[in-house]
Structure 1
Amino acid sequence: MEELAAQAGITVRTLRFYRERGLIPPPRREGRIAWYDDHHLARLRTIAALLERGHTLNGIADLSTAFESGRDVHEVLGLGLPTEEEPVRLTPQELADHFAGEVTPENLTAAMDLGYIASDGDDIVHISRRLLDVSAALVKEGVPLAAVLETGRRVREHADELALLFAELLRTHADEKDAERLRPLAKSVVDAELSLALDRQLRGPGDARSPDGDGQSS
């Protein structure tokens, strides 16, 4: 315990307090000897980083509980399943930096329920770099993370329906090899339709501007 406290730059008393609060896991015991390892040191450094960023010990304890009760990374990403999305590995403090002040136990649990994030030892794995970057950008623009996650949940429902439509189309009119090759075309249709739908929604009723922005209706 003294060696771990020294490496973490804290006192033994503080280390005992963290252990009593459940902020670090218990050591491995061999007889009367308690062994701490790099896992404990990484957790202590994470706690220190979160404290520096303004998180309270109560908040860190809540986050730790939510995180450790979340799904394992293999359950979320699948075992060897192909994906076009690039997973991102983050430390808890890096996740906190992406969503300053918004990484609450409630939001963490919602993100885990969506399958956006999962636990992998002391790290967090986000299932998609694109989703991570877009979510962080929206929060930076003032959109609450809770609203971003709720919107993501609703988008997921529609995305699954769209994927089913195209999967059935490709299975019906293409063999398995061609279906994978034609996948980008299906995505392009969805992207174009979403762009047109946003045009309609953001213009609002009565806005008859043409696409070139000259204000003339055709």
Structure 2
Amino acid sequence: MVDSAPKDSTPDGGTHGRDDAPGRPSGPDRPDGPEQPAAREAEAPDPDGRAPVEYRTAELARAAGITVRTLRFYRERKLLPPPRREGRIAWYNEHHLARLRTISELLARGHTLGGIADLIDAFEKGRDASRAAELLGLESALTSPWSEETPVRLTPEDLAAHFPDEVTSENLAAALDLGYIAVDGDEVVHVSHRLLDASTALVREGIPLAAVLDAGRVVREHADAIADLFTSLVRARLFTDVPTLSPADLRRLNEVMDRLRPLAKQVVDAELALAMDRRVRAEVENWSRPRDGAADAGGTGDAGDAGDDSAGA
């Protein structure tokens, strides 16, 4: 996602709100306090049993696809609720991330920051709540993340332990280009605990990290195509004649997206499993089948021997 620059102000200039006590350095790249783990699980679980994830300022900005400066600007404009404080550390949760994605979506649809601020204010204070709630309902349907990935913060030593002798400048550049990792001070933040574990396991099996990253790039392309397929199906088949979303359309879209999330994952998982079954069977058959050249050579040799015996007799 491209950073959404405010339309009625410039987040890259002027004074921005701070995340911690007075007297600490400000600026888009300053740390939020002492080094802490990456986005972490909060102690209180959600009703579904999954522990909610919390983000520091830089982690939240990265997940939302905006700059830290823009995030602070939004906070200053009261577009975000206050974060939870733990000493000097500001911790944000998934509701903050959903709000940032909603702001980006509304900006893309032509709303100004002033208009978005009015909508949020109306929603929170109960004025014109139905219309504001419909627009801000994008938080739960259109902009809440489908993934359940947890970023991982690594020191250079940690990274080397995951990929012994594979942390080269070429591999680091490829991982940065893919968006798998980002540099934060003296540490590296991997975007996904599951992808990190999978990459580590593949390398331990003997597959070079460069090959794993090349495969990841191809998988990313196919995953983008699948996501485009599902979203196109919804728009083309269920919202064919809907140029703009009315409150009723938004309600229906919320319901459709809620149902689509598990279905999309189910279809992709089933199709991948079936494809792997087909491919593995084909590979085993290829390995078991004698090579044509070897078979021909053996046949020719037997015929020649028979001829020599006949001639000798």
Shared fold (TM-score, shorter chain, > 0.5): yes
SS state of the match for residue 119, structure 1?
strand
Tell me which amino acid in the other structure corresponds to 1:177.
N
Indicate how the Cα distance of structure 1 residues 98 and 173 shifts in structure 2: closer, same or farther if over 3 A, else same: same
> Whole-Å Cα distance in 2 between the matches of residues 139 and 116 of structure 1?
16
- What is the aligned partner in structure 1 of residue 85 from structure 2? none
Q: 2:271 aligns with which of 193, 200, 212?
A: 193
- What is the aligned partner in structure 2 of residue 109 from structure 1? 173
Q: 2:238 aligns with which of 170, 173, 182?
A: 173
TM-score (normalised: structure 1): 0.57
Indicate how the Cα distance of structure 1 residues 149 and 176 shifts in structure 2: closer, same or farther if over 3 A, else same: same
State the shift of 1:122 in Å. 1.5
- What is the aligned partner in structure 1 of residue 6 from structure 2? none
> Whole-Å Cα distance in 2 between the matches of residues 76 and 203 of structure 1?
40
Higher CA-based Rg: 2
Indicate how the Cα distance of structure 1 residues 107 and 184 shifts in structure 2: closer, same or farther if over 3 A, else same: same
> Whole-Å Cα distance in 1 between the matches of residues 169 and 283 of structure 2?
40
1:78 aligns with 2:156: no
Aligned pairs, number = 138
Structure 1 residues without counterparts, runs of 5 or longer: 1-41, 43-71, 208-218
> Whole-Å Cα distance in 2 between the matches of residues 205 and 129 of structure 1?
31
8 Å Cα contact 1:139/1:145 also seen in 2 = yes
CA deviation profile, 1:14-35 (whole Å, cap 9, x unmatched): xxxxxxxxxxxxxxxxxxxxxx
TM-score (normalised: structure 2): 0.40
1:203 aligns with 2:281: yes
- What is the aligned partner in structure 2 of residue 96 from structure 1? 160
State the shift of 1:77 in Å. 5.9
> Whole-Å Cα distance in 2 between the matches of residues 125 and 193 of structure 1?
31
> Whole-Å Cα distance in 1 between the matches of residues 232 and 62 of structure 2?
26
State the shift of 1:184 in Å. 1.6
State the shift of 1:120 in Å. 1.3
Indicate how the Cα distance of structure 1 residues 203 and 92 shifts in structure 2: closer, same or farther if over 3 A, else same: same
State the shift of 1:158 in Å. 0.7
Indicate how the Cα distance of structure 1 residues 126 and 107 shifts in structure 2: closer, same or farther if over 3 A, else same: same
Fraction of identical pairs, as percent: 58
Q: Tell me the C-alpha RMSD between the 2 structures.
A: 2.5
Indicate how the Cα distance of structure 1 residues 104 and 170 shifts in structure 2: closer, same or farther if over 3 A, else same: same
SS state of the match for residue 143, structure 1?
coil
CA deviation profile, 1:7-60 (whole Å, cap 9, x unmatched): xxxxxxxxxxxxxxxxxxxxxxxxxxxxxxxxxxx9xxxxxxxxxxxxxxxxxx
Point out the structure with the larger helix share: 1
Structure 2 residues without counterparts, runs of 5 or longer: 1-34, 36-57, 67-96, 102-144, 240-251, 286-313
Q: 1:87 aligns with which of 151, 157, 171?
A: 151
Tell me which amino acid in the other structure corresponds to 2:185.
G
8 Å Cα contact 1:77/1:127 also seen in 2 = no
CA deviation profile, 1:51-103 (whole Å, cap 9, x unmatched): xxxxxxxxxxxxxxxxxxxxx86457624353421111111111111111111
> Whole-Å Cα distance in 2 between the matches of residues 185 and 128 of structure 1?
22
> Whole-Å Cα distance in 2 between the matches of residues 77 and 117 of structure 1?
15
Tell me which amino acid in the other structure corresponds to 1:170.
V
